Structure 1
């Protein structure tokens, strides 16, 4: 009996140890590892196949040369946020103008109460919110998500870009329509990033866009597309 009790105590101790043990890596480390792995494998076969399938682009005809993972993620975040914000603002405005204070939604009553407590200071958060929304909309409009190059006609390209801020569409362009902007190269890092986000760093036709140089498959794809070199890259 004594032996059985000792065995039960040891077994319970082991079980408690297993239940209370912590994982070897935190959630943040796993997320960081995932993000870094995604960047390293930006042009692996599986990611290329998924990009072609998502964009409905023939892999035999078009080669993926630019894939901005960050632009893709921020696109979906912004595309989800902006409609929700517009719907919420519409509900707020309608509720304020049509219902008495006691019959309004709870969140509307709370926002009105907070605004009354802030008084004239309400201008500051309102202005900050306006700037953030304008910035998100501008970035959504500027950033290119993916770029393909035609395998048969190396002068022909296809860009996946934002349309109406919440959808994506394909835009065809040719190499002679592109040009790079270098006016921000001699600025500090912060100023250069700000200028790129405001004005873009390339032009396609009569529109300005923003690209990240390190998101190209290789630098020669970028330099050829922007007419900096004349030797077509290997596709």
Structure 2
């Protein structure tokens, strides 16, 4: 009878599509796939529609001319990391200043023990961590995620950028407010990248930003926006 019951359960499991195997993908694999996945066409119809929907921009009024997939991915990763880092640092500081060593959180006790073992050398990872966080915030502020151009008034543009490092913000600007920086072009590759990540490579109004030239729909969209040509592109 027991055998019959087991066979019945097995049969029902198969017929209902139950799976006893564990999912092979992990959170790490999903994050890795999110960061490294490539798209066949940066401006295919589906991607354009998703961008307009995400940004709540009317597709009949605006044309997507710039779409930086890498900036979009790193934006979400940084926007998730920074609040966690700030919250963890706050808990650490409060726990250190308000509780005795035996009453502190386990991770706080471990960090304090590791710091005491390192002695003065603890300054090295601390400085490195501060540098990494500052660099992430700076890059988050500089990189433009998407740019739209108005179909009726080709002098009008709209940039999707980071605001306060954790939210996306729409910034409208006119063509005469945009200009490119080329002082880093004569530098070596390493110096050029460092300068662009620190100071950007374009200016909109009184703010500096960073763009990737190959993320435009075509080069004439970039050159027109930056006042390098006077012929507007087809929208």
TM-score normalised by the chain length of structure 2: 0.85
**Correspondence 1:165 to 2:165:** yes
Distance in structure 2 (CA, Å) of the matches to 1:31 and 1:190 = 28
- Deviation readout 1:122-156 (Å, 9 max, x if unpaired): 00000000100000000000000000000010000
Residue matched to 1:10:
none
Give the drift of 1:189.
Answer: 1.2
**Correspondence 1:67 to 2:67:** yes
SS of the residue 1:182 aligns to: coil
Distance in structure 2 (CA, Å) of the matches to 1:169 and 1:78 = 15
Please identify runs of 4+ aligned residues in structure 1 that moved more than 3 A: none
| CA shift in 2, pair 1:182/1:124, >3 Å | same
Distance in structure 2 (CA, Å) of the matches to 1:179 and 1:203 = 5
Residue matched to 1:56:
56
Give the drift of 1:41.
Answer: 1.3
1:203-222 alignment runs, 5 A limit: 203-222=203-222
- Deviation readout 1:169-190 (Å, 9 max, x if unpaired): 1000000000000001111111
CA RMSD of aligned residues (A): 1.7
Which consecutive unaligned segments of at least 5 residues does structure 2 have?
Answer: 1-28
Residue matched to 1:127:
127
TM-score normalised by the chain length of structure 1: 0.85
Residues paired across the two proteins, number: 206
Distance in structure 2 (CA, Å) of the matches to 1:229 and 1:66 = 17
Distance in structure 2 (CA, Å) of the matches to 1:119 and 1:35 = 42
